[in-house]
């Protein structure tokens, strides 16, 4: 087994679940985070970038951070209601102020530079709308060869959470998602099919809290905040959407992963933003995505807790 750390760029719109994914990534020595980029999504890109800086400060992740696309490629942004992630995009506990300034480069320029500078191929983990990633592929086609894979939180084979057919990240920028799914690059798709099974129940929150380090204190409060909205719509716990896109890179064995050919509906009265998967391979097309369809939930929680425990050693 190759134990070399996997170089990753974290692109997202933190966001409680993005932030918890970054906490896991920052604690895992099997991953080497090269940089973080923010995109418009749960909140404005300005708020997402500031949240990215604060999350990096919390976990002592000293990597370049850049602000990305202010709006989707061709359409206007959707404003997510503030009861999910709060006004700041990451409401709840008080977070440390940024330790590192934003880069002057845009997210796309930073991604391109990090890819060019890397000796190895790099994995992009995208946990917000795919605007930055698509803009990178359009404007810097030369870096495509340096991308190992794109691990996405987005979509859902069987249903949506923003419309009956579409999940939020894909619905915000379906054109960007379409470009990414058609890119020919290897894709992991952590859609709602799996992420809604990665539930953190109230007793799991207590487990995290009992770890008793500064990061576990914050994560347990994030989980509580994130659960308030989900509880109000009938969930038994907080769905850890975005951490699935990180966890699959280091623990693929805990997921049920299926190869499907997936296309993104970019228009359509009822289906805009839908990720349409050819589950029975009726088209005969070669799969373009490894789709996560299930997870060993208990194992997922145990692993998350183990990674958060690593922060007990951080001074």
Residue number, 43 or 143, with CB nearest to Ca ion: 43
Nearest Cα residue to 70 out of 162, 135, 126, 142:
135
Residue number, 63 or 229, with CB nearest to ligand BDR: 229
119 CB neighbour count, 10 Å cutoff: 7
| Structure tokens belonging to residue 134 | 């698509």
Q: Which residues within the stretch 9-48 sit at the binding site for ligand BDR (CB under 6 A)?
A: 15, 17-18, 42
Site string for ligand BDR, 186-225 (x = CB under 6 A): ----------------------------------------
The 3-state DSSP class for residue 49 equals helix
Looking at the DSSP bridge assignments, the partners of residue 223 are: none
Nearest Cα residue to 173 out of 17, 16, 39:
39
Cβ at position 183, least distance to ligand BDR in Å: 20
Site string for ligand BDR, 158-177 (x = CB under 6 A): ---x-----xxx--------
Q: Which residues contact 103 (CB under 8 A, 6 or more apart)?
A: 64, 65, 66, 110
Residue number, 10 or 122, with CB nearest to Ca ion: 10
Among 37, 69, 106, 127, binds ligand BDR (CB under 6 A): 127
| Structure tokens belonging to residue 234 | 């009938």
When CB distances are held under 5 to 8 angstroms depending on the partner's kind, the choice from ligand BDR, Ca ion, none that residue 47 binds is none
CA dihedral 137, 143, 145, 146 (to 10 degrees): -120
When CB distances are held under 5 to 8 angstroms depending on the partner's kind, the choice from ligand BDR, Ca ion, none that residue 167 binds is ligand BDR
In whole angstroms, give the CA distance from residue 129 to residue 110.
18
Looking at the DSSP bridge assignments, the partners of residue 37 are: 11, 66
Q: Under a CB-based contact definition with an 8 Å cutoff, are residues 230 and 237 in contact?
A: yes
Which of the residues are catalytic? 241
Maximum CA extent, the chain: 55
Q: Which listed range, 75-83, 94-102, 120-128, 135-143, lies at the site for Ca ion (CB under 5 A)?
A: 120-128
Question: Is residue 243 close enough to count as binding Ca ion by CB under 5 A?
Answer: no
Cβ at position 77, least distance to ligand BDR in Å: 13
Site string for Ca ion, 246-285 (x = CB under 5 A): ----------------------------------------
Cβ at position 86, least distance to ligand BDR in Å: 11
Q: What is the DSSP letter of 290?
A: E
Looking at the DSSP bridge assignments, the partners of residue 238 are: 200
For Ca ion (CB under 5 A), the number of binding residues is: 6
For ligand BDR (CB under 6 A), the number of binding residues is: 13
Among 153, 190, 215, 249, binds ligand BDR (CB under 6 A): 153
In whole angstroms, give the CA distance from residue 191 to residue 170.
10
Alpha-carbon distances, residue 105 vs 76, 121, 127, 132 (angstroms): 23, 21, 20, 13
* Sites of contact with Ca ion (CB under 5 A): 13, 15, 18, 127-128, 242
* Sites of contact with ligand BDR (CB under 6 A): 15, 17-18, 42, 84, 127, 153, 161, 167-169, 241-242
């Amino acid at each position: 087994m190759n134990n070399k750390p996997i170089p990753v760029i974290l692109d997202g719109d933190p966001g409680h679940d993005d932030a918890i994914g970054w906490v896991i990534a920052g604690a895992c020595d099997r991953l080497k985070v090269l940089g973080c980029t923010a995109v418009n999504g749960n909140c404005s890109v300005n708020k997402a970038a500031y949240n990215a800086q604060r999350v990096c400060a919390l976990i002592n992740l000293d990597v370049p951070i850049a602000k990305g696309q202010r709006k989707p490629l061709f359409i206007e942004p959707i404003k997510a209601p503030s009861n999910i992630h709060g006004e700041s995009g990451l409401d709840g506990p008080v977070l440390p102020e940024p330790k590192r300034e934003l880069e002057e480069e845009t997210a796309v320029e930073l991604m391109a530079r990090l890819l060019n500078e890397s000796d190895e191929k790099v994995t992009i983990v995208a946990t917000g709308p795919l605007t930055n990633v698509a803009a990178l592929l359009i404007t810097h086609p030369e870096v495509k060869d340096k991308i190992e894979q794109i691990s996405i939180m987005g979509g859902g084979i069987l249903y949506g959470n923003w419309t009956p057919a579409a999940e939020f990240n894909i619905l915000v920028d379906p054109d960007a998602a379409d470009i990414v799914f058609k890119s020919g690059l290897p894709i992991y798709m952590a859609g709602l099919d799996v992420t809604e099974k990665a539930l953190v129940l109230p007793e799991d929150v207590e487990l995290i809290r009992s770890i008793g380090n500064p990061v576990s204190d914050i994560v347990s409060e994030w989980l509580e905040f994130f659960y308030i909205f989900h509880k109000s719509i009938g969930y038994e716990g907080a769905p850890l959407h975005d951490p699935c896109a990180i966890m699959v890179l280091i623990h693929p064995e805990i997921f049920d992963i299926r190869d499907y050919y997936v296309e993104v509906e970019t228009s359509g009265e009822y289906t805009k933003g839908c990720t349409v998967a050819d589950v029975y391979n009726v088209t005969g097309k070669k799969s373009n995505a490894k789709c996560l369809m299930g997870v060993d939930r208990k194992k997922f929680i145990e692993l998350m807790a183990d990674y958060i425990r690593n922060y007990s050693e951080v001074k």
